[in-house]
Every structure is written in structure tokens, then in C-alpha cells.
Amino acid sequence: MELVTIKDKNYSNKKVFVRVDFNVPLGDNNEILDDTRITAALETIRYLLSQNATLVLASHLGKPKGKRNPKLSLKPVAERLAELLGKPVKFAPDCIGDGAKKVVDGAGKGEVVLLENLRFYPGEEENDPQFAKALGSLAECYVNDAFGTSHREHASIVGITEFLPDKAAGFLIEKETNALSRLIENPEKPFLLILGGAKVTDKIAMLRNLLDKVDTIITGGVMAYTFIRANNWETGDSKVEVEAIPMAKEIYKQIRKLHLEFHTPLDHMIINMNMENPQPVYTERGTVPLGWKGVDIGPQALDEYRDCISRARTIFWNGPMGIYEVEAYARGTIEIAKAVAASKAFSVVGGGDIVAAVKRAGVADKISHVCTGGGASLEFLEGKGLPGINILQKK
């Protein structure tokens, strides 16, 4: 995939609209809990500032559903960005209209403006042409560096380019697409797919698209229990995505036809659902008895999965191995993270849970690429293309 990038352009003294993804988690007092998405955009921002451009940054935050919500204001983000850049960031109290225009017009060369939350207007998610035109009127050219939102056909992602045809991808989007493309285009073998977590149906299309490229698949969490149930084995009270069982059975048929190595856990950590304060124990085999719930993979499964990881030369991981957010049930996910980090494979991890897990394990810097957008990375790997990326490709 060849994209028009900011390295192909000259932004000297220009006013540039930059779509970033500053959709960061906020605490009860509107404090930023994790600034990863802000730091991910710094390379693009600094590059454009080095050309003396005036930057108009725009992002969404949370789900305000088209209405102004002070708890979802981007003002704390502007303050954090100023700290990271070591220079002032002007905050516009709106993203369109006189409020935004006044702040943008008052910004000089080499200065940064952050607009208020785009999703305070329904026109953003509706890709409304008038809203897109209003955004486009604030600048001369457009840069998209919001990979995590590029699978959405929104006004600031797609519609705005009708009014700012001078468009390019930022460094983050370039890195994301390059890393994910390596998984699709001649990945080094053996290629290992690690699938866990819930939302099984969301991952089926991606799994189908990668079946003829991968060599080994290992599973955990709801993903594993759904495939176990598809084999008519007992899962007890473990969470299963029932509507995905027929799809799992179809995928089993394809796996057998392609002679792929496919693993569900050899054993599980389980808890008794009838006890008030259940203590976890391990099963002796890969099924879960009635009245019990699987919460993590067991030690036998972990050993088998470590072996698969050690043999791999390409790895994509999406979804935890169990209820990792509970400390007592996190071992499987954390140990898998450490094994992936220690491997010699080109490794890509995607999805908020896994990004959090590799950080918690202290190995994020040892993963080849950490995706900033879980949903966007899954859709990219489905092979259907993302609206926000497609419009940035070279003709």
C-alpha cells in the first residue's frame, strides 16, 4: 500500500488541519489516565512545526452522542500536549463557527491549536457535508494521523477531503499500515495468530481472511470457550458467544482442510460460581465442569502456547487469555505478553486490552508494533480497506 505522506509535501508557512486520535481515558476528575495516543502523534506534530506550519488539531473524545458534554472536553488534552511539546497549545472552545475561527485566526506560524471535541456535533459521525466544509474552512491542507478512527466514514476523516484536497498521511498512519501490511503480504513463516477476549463475531472476518496466511492459532478467553463449545465440549458457566458457534464450526472445517495447527487451552483456571468468595483452581483437561467458570488459561496451556510463540517468526495478537483485569486471573495474559516480547518474531499487538496488558507486563517497548486502534486494525486485516486510508493512497 503506497500512501501520500507528509514527507511528499511542503507545509512551509501553511495552515494545516491535522486529524489526530486523542481519545484518551479520563479519570473522575478529568485527569488523563493514559497519554499513549497523545505521544503517538508527537512525531507528526513536531515535523509539521519544523516547517513553520500553523497546526489545527482535531479529535473526538468518548461518545457524547452529538451533544456538548463538559466531562468530555479536550481541554485537559491541550494542557497535556503543551507539556509534552514544551510550548503553548491554544484551545478553541468549539470545533466550528466563530469560536473556533477566532482562535485559529489568532494563531501564528509554528503555533498549535486544539479544537474542542468533534463529536459534540452529530455532523461528525454522520459525515455531514456542511460540517465537513466548516472544518475545512479552518485550514489550507489536510493531514490524517488518526489511525484508530480511520475505519469510520466521518466528516473529519473522509468528508473534509472534499474541501481540503491537499491531503496526506502522518507518520503514525504510515507506521500502522506498514506493520499491518507485513501480516498480509508475504509474512515470514511460521505465522502465529493469538486470539482471545470477547467480541468473537467482530474477529471472525479477520480470522477468515488470514486463514490461508497463518500456520498456527492459539486461543484464550471467550474466543477459546466459543470454539470449545463448537466442538461440543463442556464449558461450564464460562462466557460463550453463542451466536458465533456456527461460524466457529465453519472455521474448524477450513482449519482442517488447510492442515493448520489450532489450539484451545489444554487446561484452565476456574472458579466455582456457587461460592461467595471462590478460590481459583486448575482443571486437569481442556473442558470446564458445570457450575464452574473459566477465568484464565492453565499452566499446561501456557507451556504449550510458549512453545508455539518460540517457534513463530510472525505474530499477531488480539484479545487477552482471560479476565486479565482481575489481578488473580491475569497470569496467562501477562506471561503470554512476556513470551511474545522475548521471541524473535516480528510481533504486532492490537486492541485496548492487549495494549494495556503489554504495558502492565513492562514489555511494550519489546513488541515490534503496538497498534493504536483495535477496531481499525481488525478491519484492515479483514482486507477490505479503511475509508480514511483509501483516500490517502497514491493514484
DSSP state, residue 53:
P
Report d(CA 154, CA 74) in Å as an integer: 19
Contact 156, 118 (CB under 8 A): yes
Average pLDDT of the segment spanning 93-103: 97
Amino acid of residue 389: I
Do 170 and 144 form a contact (C-beta atoms < 8 A)?
yes
Average pLDDT over residues 97-117: 97
Domain 6-172 has CATH 3.40.50.1260: yes
Tell me how many degrees the CA angle 362-364-365 measures, rounded to the nearest 5.
105
* Runs of H (alpha helix) within the chain: 36-40, 42-50, 75-85, 97-105, 122-125, 129-136, 171-184, 200-210, 221-230, 245-258, 299-311, 331-342, 352-360, 374-382, 387-390
- pLDDT for res 356: 87
Catalytic residues, by residue number, are 37, 199, 352, 375
Split at pLDDT 50, 70, 90, the class of 242 is: very high
Q: In what order do the strands lie in the sheet with 268-272?
A: 281-282, 268-272, 292-297
pLDDT of residue 347: 98
Average pLDDT over residues 228-245: 95
Question: What contacts 24+ positions apart, CB below 8 Å, involve 25-33?
Answer: 26/61, 26/62, 26/71, 26/72, 26/76, 30/71, 30/73, 30/76, 31/76, 32/76, 32/77, 32/80
Q: What digits encode the pLDDT tens for the residues 176-221?
A: 999 999 999 989 999 999 999 988 999 999 999 999 999 999 999 9
Q: 95-100: which pairs have CB atoms within 8 A and are 24 or more residues apart?
A: 95/58, 95/120, 95/121, 95/135, 96/121, 96/131, 96/134, 96/135, 96/138, 97/134, 100/138
pLDDT of residue 333: 96
| pLDDT interval class at 277 (50, 70, 90) | confident
**pLDDT at residue 353, as a whole number:** 84
Q: What pLDDT score does 263 carry?
A: 97
In this model, does residue 354 exceed pLDDT 90? no
Rounded average pLDDT over 47-63:
97
Q: Delimit the domains of the chain by residue range.
A: 6-172, 179-382
Residue 215 CB partners (closer than 8 Å, separation 6+):
189, 190, 191, 192, 260, 261
Kindly tell me if the per-residue pLDDT of 352 is higher than 80.
no
As a whole number of angstroms, the distance between CA 301 and CA 23 comes to 35
Tell me the pLDDT band of 343, cut-offs 50, 70 and 90. very high
Per-residue pLDDT band for 274 (boundaries 50, 70, 90) equals: confident
Percent of the chain with pLDDT over 70: 100
Residue 231: which pLDDT band, with cuts at 50, 70 and 90? very high
Indicate the fold that domain 179-382 takes in CATH: Rossmann fold (3.40.50)
170 band by pLDDT with thresholds 50, 70 and 90: very high
**Residue 395: predicted pLDDT:** 75
Q: What is the mean pLDDT of the chain?
A: 95
Q: Measured between alpha carbons, how far is residue 124 from residues 40, 63, 67 in Å?
A: 23, 12, 11
Determine the average pLDDT of the residues in 103-110: 97
Pull the grid cell for residue 122: 452529530
